[in-house]
């Protein structure tokens, strides 16, 4: 599958963050949102962003310890 690269507007459509929130997350000193700068544009590899998002602290409501009973 080819890599999916999006700009900040495209990322804000796929993630639960506004463009302003994404700019702040890029410049966060600890665990910043991964990006590449191309001229003045910020570009994001969706696979890396999803891995970053999965690593954020917080409870994952989709995890179910009772998977074996399905």
Domain range list for the chain: 5-55
Residue 62, pLDDT score: 64
Alpha-helical (H) ranges within 15-68 are 19-26, 46-54
- Taking a C-beta distance cutoff of 8 angstroms, is the pair 36, 26 a contact? no
Question: Given a cut of 80, is residue 10 above it in pLDDT?
Answer: yes
Q: Which residue in this structure is represented by tokens 């700009």?
A: 7
From edge to edge, which strands make up the β-sheet containing 41-45?
5-7, 41-45, 36-38
Instruction: Choose between 65 and 37: higher pLDDT.
Output: 37
Residue 68, pLDDT score: 47
Question: Given a cut of 90, is residue 43 above it in pLDDT?
Answer: yes
- pLDDT tens per residue across span 46-65: 999 999 999 988 876 665 55
């Amino acid at each position: 599958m080819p890599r999916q690269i999006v700009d900040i507007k495209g990322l804000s459509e796929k993630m639960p963050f506004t463009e302003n929130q994404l700019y702040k997350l890029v410049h966060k000193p600890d665990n910043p949102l991964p990006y590449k700068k191309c001229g003045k544009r910020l570009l994001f590899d969706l696979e890396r962003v999803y891995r970053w998002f999965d690593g954020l602290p917080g409870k994952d409501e989709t995890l179910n310890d009772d998977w074996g009973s399905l």
